[in-house]
């Protein structure tokens, strides 16, 4: 089959590259940004994702993958089009579907044969039904067009592996033809395949993401209580993890969740439930806990000093998690803004995220390429991301290099016993 992918953002690019590698189909990725297209056709990835660029280069050489801004040609030849455009959050928490509608309009206007349009984007329940009516109203009479839901379950930093080793491939279809077409796409993927209706597929995506967000917020809530009653959240999490009804994942306490999915998807599902006259109290609580958790340590610091004005403050880790350069909804953003508003001189370190940070903060903060420079002469240090470089950092250097070895660890990077061996004022989460 000829497969087109509309959008070369995080989901679209990973989907296109991995399909080219694993399937026997020809993959054409479409983007309106000609400069971005040129960069991709040179084998250069605009996002950091382990293993992605190598696969990109290999499949460009094989001819199984190409990138273009000529959507008319790409869509006219396509048997199937994946839609992987953004569905950003509106001010009221609802999902903005304007980009999705625009993409479907372009696809339908160019379709020259029977086509299955597959929505990869995370969309509110019922979106496939709405968009199919729109597509059918604008298609050529002689061709068949259907929509299907095929949500992604990729974690940034492990997206390539998550695609090839997916726990499940969800196919939301309303006909045998759509099911058979999608099954052909994934015929070389040896993964569990779940076939359901489109509304259920859309809900699976939201329900999965929001459950994980709820799990994170729950553990952070328990961590805060642990501090009050004198328990250790890491021991608590370990004890919980042996219960196979709970599992080991997403039990780490920290500064809350960020990224492109959990913040947006929790708010969107909460909005959707309210708009249908039902409040998801659990999701509302998850959102509230997460927002409070982000600022937990900077509030602690503000209680310990008279003012941040003129202080050198080190921030270690900028991205919302290790293994990615994504800073969307990263706790570092709100914390750095808090510090800047109060006159602090911020020195930031991140092994990958500096370029992204520059687009947010410009020259308002100082950027360093190593931890030593960030903490040298610093009055305090905040750890925002558990990069290996930070986890493995020599604790003695905090004592030797900092003006005052005051460390606020938002990711519980260090063993408490090791920290206590040194004259470090150390505050972590739930311990």
Tracing tokens 């998807």 back to the chain, one arrives at 265
Burial-class residue 352 by CB neighbours within 10 Å (0-12, 13-18, 19+): middle
DSSP state of 86: -
Q: Rounding to the nearest 10 degrees, give the CA dihedral for residues 105, 196, 14, 326.
A: 90
Q: How many CB atoms lie within 10 A of CB 202?
A: 24
List the catalytic residue out of 29, 261, 381, 413.
261
Six-digit token pair at 348? 């930031």
Q: How many CB atoms lie within 10 A of CB 175?
A: 12
Measured CA to CA, the distance from residue 312 to residue 331 in angstroms comes to: 19
Measured CA to CA, the distance from residue 82 to residue 150 in angstroms comes to: 9
Of 319, 330, 327, 426, the C-alpha closest to 382 is 426
Catalytic: 261?
A: yes
Measured CA to CA, the distance from residue 41 to residue 258 in angstroms comes to: 31
| 3-class secondary-structure state, position 383 | strand
Six-digit token pair at 76? 């006219």
Between β-strands 425-427 and 366-368, what pairing exists: parallel, antiparallel or unpaired?
unpaired
Catalytic residues: 261
């Amino acid at each position: 089959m000829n497969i087109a992918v509309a959008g070369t953002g995080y989901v679209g690019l990973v989907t296109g590259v991995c399909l080219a590698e694993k399937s026997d189909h020809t993959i054409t990725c479409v983007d309106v940004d000609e400069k971005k297209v040129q960069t991709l056709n040179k084998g250069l990835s605009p996002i950091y994702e382990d293993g992605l660029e190598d696969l990109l280069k290999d499949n460009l050489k094989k001819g199984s993958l190409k990138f273009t801004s000529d959507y008319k040609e790409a869509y006219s030849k396509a048997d199937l089009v994946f839609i992987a455009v953004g569905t950003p959050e509106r001010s009221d928490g609802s999902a903005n579907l304007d980009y999705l509608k625009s993409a479907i309009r372009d696809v339908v206007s160019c379709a020259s044969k029977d086509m299955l349009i597959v929505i990869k984007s995370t969309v509110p329940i019922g979106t496939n039904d709405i968009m199919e009516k729109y597509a059918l109203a604008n298609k050529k009479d002689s061709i068949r067009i259907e929509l299907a839901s095929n949500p992604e379950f990729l974690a940034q930093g492990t997206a390539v592996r998550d695609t090839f080793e997916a726990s499940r491939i969800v196919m939301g279809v309303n006909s045998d033809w759509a099911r058979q077409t999608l099954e052909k796409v994934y015929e070389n993927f040896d993964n569990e395949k779940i076939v359901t209706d489109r509304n259920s597929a859309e809900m699976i995506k939201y329900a999965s993401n929001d459950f994980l967000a709820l799990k994170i917020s729950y553990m952070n809530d328990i961590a805060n209580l642990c501090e009050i009653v004198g328990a250790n959240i890491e021991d608590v999490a370990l004890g919980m993890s042996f219960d196979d009804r709970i599992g080991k994942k997403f039990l780490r306490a920290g500064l809350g969740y960020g990224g492109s999915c959990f913040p947006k998807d929790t708010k969107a599902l909460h909005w959707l439930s309210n708009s249908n006259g039902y409040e998801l109290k659990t999701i509302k609580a998850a959102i509230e806990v997460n927002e409070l958790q982000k600022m937990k340590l900077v509030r602690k610091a503000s209680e310990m000093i008279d003012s941040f004005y003129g202080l050198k403050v080190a921030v270690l880790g900028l991205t919302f998690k290790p293994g990615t350069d994504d800073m969307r909804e990263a706790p570092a953003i709100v914390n750095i803004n808090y510090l800047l508003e109060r006159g602090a001189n911020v020195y930031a370190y991140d092994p990958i995220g500096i370029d992204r940070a520059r687009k947010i903060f410009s020259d308002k903060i100082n950027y360093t390429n190593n931890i030593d420079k960030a903490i040298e002469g610093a009055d305090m240090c905040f750890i925002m991301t558990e990069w290996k470089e930070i986890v493995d950092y020599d604790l003695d250097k905090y004592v030797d290099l900092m003006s005052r070895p005051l460390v606020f660890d938002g990711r519980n990077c260090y063993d408490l016993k090791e920290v206590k061996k040194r004259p470090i004022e150390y505050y972590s989460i739930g311990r």
